Amino acid sequence: MNETISESLTSISQKIEAAIERITRKAEVKELRGNQQRKLDIALRVAAAILAVASPALVTYSTTTSSSGGFQFAAIILSSMAGATITLQAVLGFQQNYIRDSLDALDLYELKSELESKKETALKIGQEHERYAALAVILSDATRQEREIMILKKRDYLKSIQVEQR
Protein backbone atom coordinates (compact mmCIF):
# COMPACT_ATOMS: atom_id res chain seq x y z
CA MET A 1 0.00 0.00 0.00
CA ASN A 2 2.84 2.39 0.85
CA GLU A 3 4.43 1.78 -2.57
CA THR A 4 1.16 2.65 -4.26
CA ILE A 5 0.98 6.00 -2.49
CA SER A 6 4.62 6.70 -3.35
CA GLU A 7 4.00 5.83 -7.00
CA SER A 8 0.86 7.96 -7.05
CA LEU A 9 2.77 10.83 -5.48
CA THR A 10 5.49 10.53 -8.13
CA SER A 11 2.86 10.33 -10.88
CA ILE A 12 0.99 13.44 -9.77
CA SER A 13 4.27 15.32 -9.33
CA GLN A 14 5.13 14.47 -12.93
CA LYS A 15 1.69 15.64 -14.05
CA ILE A 16 2.23 18.94 -12.29
CA GLU A 17 5.65 19.31 -13.94
CA ALA A 18 4.03 18.61 -17.31
CA ALA A 19 1.37 21.24 -16.53
CA ILE A 20 4.09 23.75 -15.64
CA GLU A 21 5.86 23.06 -18.95
CA ARG A 22 2.58 23.34 -20.89
CA ILE A 23 1.67 26.61 -19.20
CA THR A 24 5.17 27.98 -19.89
CA ARG A 25 4.90 27.08 -23.59
CA LYS A 26 1.47 28.70 -23.86
CA ALA A 27 2.74 31.84 -22.13
CA GLU A 28 5.71 32.04 -24.49
CA VAL A 29 3.45 31.64 -27.52
CA LYS A 30 1.10 34.34 -26.22
CA GLU A 31 4.06 36.62 -25.55
CA LEU A 32 5.50 36.08 -29.05
CA ARG A 33 2.11 36.60 -30.67
CA GLY A 34 1.59 39.76 -28.63
CA ASN A 35 4.96 41.12 -29.73
CA GLN A 36 4.14 40.38 -33.37
CA GLN A 37 0.76 42.09 -33.02
CA ARG A 38 2.46 45.11 -31.44
CA LYS A 39 4.95 45.38 -34.30
CA LEU A 40 2.18 45.15 -36.88
CA ASP A 41 0.15 47.78 -35.04
CA ILE A 42 3.14 50.13 -34.94
CA ALA A 43 3.84 49.56 -38.64
CA LEU A 44 0.24 50.35 -39.60
CA ARG A 45 0.18 53.44 -37.37
CA VAL A 46 3.41 54.75 -38.87
CA ALA A 47 2.19 54.05 -42.42
CA ALA A 48 -1.12 55.78 -41.73
CA ALA A 49 0.63 58.80 -40.24
CA ILE A 50 3.05 59.12 -43.15
CA LEU A 51 0.31 58.71 -45.73
CA ALA A 52 -1.99 61.13 -43.93
CA VAL A 53 0.72 63.80 -43.92
CA ALA A 54 2.03 63.09 -47.43
CA SER A 55 -1.34 63.41 -49.13
CA PRO A 56 -2.14 67.03 -48.10
CA ALA A 57 1.48 67.99 -48.70
CA LEU A 58 1.26 66.63 -52.23
CA VAL A 59 -2.03 68.45 -52.87
CA THR A 60 -0.49 71.70 -51.63
CA TYR A 61 2.58 71.20 -53.81
CA SER A 62 0.45 70.34 -56.84
CA THR A 63 -1.41 73.66 -56.60
CA THR A 64 1.87 75.58 -56.79
CA THR A 65 3.13 73.85 -59.97
CA SER A 66 1.84 74.18 -63.49
CA SER A 67 1.68 70.42 -64.25
CA SER A 68 -0.60 69.35 -61.45
CA GLY A 69 -2.36 66.37 -63.10
CA GLY A 70 0.17 63.78 -61.97
CA PHE A 71 0.43 65.20 -58.49
CA GLN A 72 -3.34 65.27 -58.07
CA PHE A 73 -3.57 61.64 -59.11
CA ALA A 74 -0.78 60.74 -56.68
CA ALA A 75 -2.59 62.66 -53.92
CA ILE A 76 -5.77 60.71 -54.60
CA ILE A 77 -3.85 57.41 -54.43
CA LEU A 78 -2.08 58.43 -51.20
CA SER A 79 -5.38 59.53 -49.64
CA SER A 80 -7.02 56.24 -50.51
CA MET A 81 -4.03 54.29 -49.17
CA ALA A 82 -4.15 56.28 -45.92
CA GLY A 83 -7.85 55.50 -45.56
CA ALA A 84 -7.27 51.83 -46.33
CA THR A 85 -4.45 51.66 -43.78
CA ILE A 86 -6.62 53.18 -41.06
CA THR A 87 -9.48 50.85 -41.97
CA LEU A 88 -7.17 47.82 -41.84
CA GLN A 89 -5.87 48.97 -38.49
CA ALA A 90 -9.41 49.17 -37.11
CA VAL A 91 -10.62 45.92 -38.67
CA LEU A 92 -7.62 43.77 -37.79
CA GLY A 93 -7.41 45.18 -34.27
CA PHE A 94 -3.71 44.55 -33.74
CA GLN A 95 -3.62 46.81 -30.70
CA GLN A 96 -6.46 44.97 -28.94
CA ASN A 97 -4.93 41.59 -29.82
CA TYR A 98 -1.54 42.72 -28.53
CA ILE A 99 -3.02 43.86 -25.25
CA ARG A 100 -5.07 40.68 -24.78
CA ASP A 101 -2.19 38.34 -25.67
CA SER A 102 0.24 40.22 -23.43
CA LEU A 103 -2.14 40.12 -20.48
CA ASP A 104 -2.83 36.42 -21.06
CA ALA A 105 0.93 35.74 -21.13
CA LEU A 106 1.35 37.57 -17.83
CA ASP A 107 -1.54 35.61 -16.30
CA LEU A 108 -0.01 32.34 -17.50
CA TYR A 109 3.43 33.22 -16.10
CA GLU A 110 1.78 34.11 -12.81
CA LEU A 111 -0.09 30.79 -12.80
CA LYS A 112 3.17 28.95 -13.50
CA SER A 113 4.92 30.65 -10.58
CA GLU A 114 1.98 30.01 -8.29
CA LEU A 115 1.87 26.35 -9.33
CA GLU A 116 5.60 25.89 -8.67
CA SER A 117 5.31 27.54 -5.27
CA LYS A 118 2.27 25.52 -4.22
CA LYS A 119 3.92 22.29 -5.39
CA GLU A 120 7.00 22.97 -3.29
CA THR A 121 4.85 23.82 -0.28
CA ALA A 122 2.73 20.68 -0.70
CA LEU A 123 5.80 18.45 -0.94
CA LYS A 124 6.85 19.63 2.53
CA ILE A 125 3.65 18.37 4.17
CA GLY A 126 4.21 15.52 6.65
CA GLN A 127 2.65 12.31 5.32
CA GLU A 128 2.54 11.03 1.75
CA HIS A 129 -1.24 10.72 1.51
CA GLU A 130 -1.59 14.35 2.66
CA ARG A 131 0.98 15.41 0.05
CA TYR A 132 -0.88 13.49 -2.64
CA ALA A 133 -4.23 15.07 -1.69
CA ALA A 134 -2.71 18.56 -1.67
CA LEU A 135 -1.02 18.00 -5.05
CA ALA A 136 -4.26 16.67 -6.55
CA VAL A 137 -6.10 19.83 -5.48
CA ILE A 138 -3.28 22.02 -6.78
CA LEU A 139 -3.28 20.28 -10.17
CA SER A 140 -7.06 20.55 -10.45
CA ASP A 141 -7.02 24.25 -9.55
CA ALA A 142 -4.20 24.99 -11.98
CA THR A 143 -6.01 23.22 -14.82
CA ARG A 144 -9.17 25.22 -14.09
CA GLN A 145 -7.25 28.50 -13.95
CA GLU A 146 -5.44 27.69 -17.20
CA ARG A 147 -8.78 27.01 -18.87
CA GLU A 148 -10.14 30.32 -17.59
CA ILE A 149 -7.16 32.20 -19.00
CA MET A 150 -7.17 30.46 -22.38
CA ILE A 151 -10.90 30.07 -23.04
CA LEU A 152 -13.16 32.03 -20.74
CA LYS A 153 -11.25 35.32 -20.94
CA LYS A 154 -11.25 35.09 -24.72
CA ARG A 155 -14.98 34.43 -24.72
CA ASP A 156 -15.59 37.39 -22.40
CA TYR A 157 -13.41 39.57 -24.63
CA LEU A 158 -15.36 38.53 -27.73
CA LYS A 159 -18.63 39.28 -25.94
CA SER A 160 -17.38 42.75 -25.01
CA ILE A 161 -16.51 43.43 -28.66
CA GLN A 162 -20.01 42.37 -29.74
CA VAL A 163 -21.54 44.73 -27.16
CA GLU A 164 -19.33 47.61 -28.37
CA GLN A 165 -20.38 47.00 -31.98
CA ARG A 166 -24.08 47.29 -31.16
User: Which range of residues forms the domain containing residue 126?
Assistant: 2-165
- Residue whose C-alpha is closest to residue 53's, from 89, 88, 90, 82: 82
Check residues 115 and 84 and name the one with the higher pLDDT: 115
Number of domains in the chain: 1
CA distance 136 to 143: 11
- Residue whose C-alpha is closest to residue 61's, from 49, 85, 53: 53
Check residues 33 and 97 and name the one with the higher pLDDT: 33
Q: From residue 117, how far is each of 12, 23, 53, 96 by CA, in Å?
A: 15, 14, 53, 32
Q: What is the pLDDT of residues 120-153, one digit of tens each?
A: 999 898 888 899 999 999 999 999 999 988 887 6
Confidence band, pLDDT 50/70/90 cuts, at residue 85 = confident
Confidence band, pLDDT 50/70/90 cuts, at residue 20 = very high
User: Which pLDDT belongs to residue 146?
Assistant: 92
CB 48 within 8 A of CB 91: no
User: Which pLDDT belongs to residue 3?
Assistant: 62
